[in-house]
Amino acid sequence: MPFKERLAAVITTLFVWSLAGALFGGLFIGLYEVLQVLDFGPWQAVVIAALAAAMTTAAFYSAMPVALMGAMAGVVASIGYLIIGGPRLELGIIALVAAGLGVLGGAFVAWTSQAGSRPLAETLTGLLAGLGAGFILVVVLTLYSRPVGAFVMAAGVVALVGSLFQLNEHWIVKGVHGWLPDTLAAPLVAALVAAVVGASIWMVAGTTAAALDPAAKDAVERVLAEMPSGFLGGLLGGAVTGLLLEVLGFRLEEHESA
């Protein structure tokens, strides 16, 4: 490959992996902090947050049209819920409403395009990568007794998930591809993304909700305060991981043409 094309490929890889890592890192830290506020144990919070963030990021990375439809559905459903419900904010309800609208949006994408079952296969690959990375991170945090900041935690989990996803994507997608009817794959992925977006909007809106008591507001503000560190840590972790995988021969252009 000519130097100019190789340089363009490296820059594109750096850009894509940095953005994906930033999205993952911010989402992971936000979910991790929220789960701790909801009295989940530390290891449970790590695994669940890694799993959910990896699934969502995999959808954006590998099935952008479906993920964007899910994100739009989550925004519309959340804003509509906030307008109708006023200051009364219920996480479970807002996530369910967003997921329901995401199903409709995903069904529309499946009806108007040849999305196939690949979005679901890629998302399930993200799920397995997130599950594996979560358990690895739990072991590391258990063995390392000192506190680990959000920046380092996000960078580490992004590197783990990115590596596991890239190394196992081909055989998992090949095995899962076609497992469910095409008409069900896109709606399920869009519903997942919509629910996560809806929960994120609930978290942001919660800081100004009059219905929340001072203790709850303090907890939500603490979550938001940690998210920039997660965003930056994920950005760095994604950039470094993407470049290392590019050097090892895992090309982004090969992923896009698969």
Model pLDDT for residues 13-39, shown as the tens digit of each residue: 778 778 888 888 888 888 888 777 777
117: pLDDT confidence band, cut at 50, 70 and 90? low
Least confident range from 86-100, 117-131, 195-209, 219-233: namely 195-209
Query: Alpha helix locations (H) across 113-149?
Result: 118-143
222 vs 135 pLDDT, higher one: 135
Model confidence pLDDT, tens digit, residues 145-160? 788 888 998 999 998 9
* Cβ–Cβ < 8 Å for 252, 12: yes
Q: How confident is the model at residue 196 (pLDDT cuts 50, 70, 90)?
A: confident
pTM recorded for the entire structure: 0.76
**Residue 235 and residue 229: Cα distance in Å, rounded?**
10
Q: Which residues are within 8 A (CB) of 249 and not within 5 positions of it... i.e. 6 or more apart?
A: none
Region label for 219, one of left (φ > 0), alpha (ψ between -120 and 50) or beta (otherwise):
alpha
Amino acid (one-letter) located at 223: V
**204 pLDDT more than 80:** no
Residue 140 or 213, more confident: 140
Alpha carbon distance 189, 191 (integer Å): 5
pLDDT of residue 1: 57
Phi and psi, residue 225, nearest 5°: -70, -30
5 vs 18: CA distance, rounded Å: 20
Q: d(Cα 19, Cα 25) in Å, to the nearest integer? A: 10
Cα separations in angstroms, 48 against 40, 99, 132, 133, 218: 10, 18, 11, 11, 23
The pLDDT, as a whole number, for residue 135 is: 92
Residue of 81, 103, 76, 83 lying closest to 93 (CA atoms): 81
Q: Do 199 and 94 contact (CB within 8 A), yes or no?
A: yes
- Contact residues for 1 (Cβ-Cβ < 8 A; gap 6+): 9
Residue 136: its pLDDT value, please?
Answer: 92
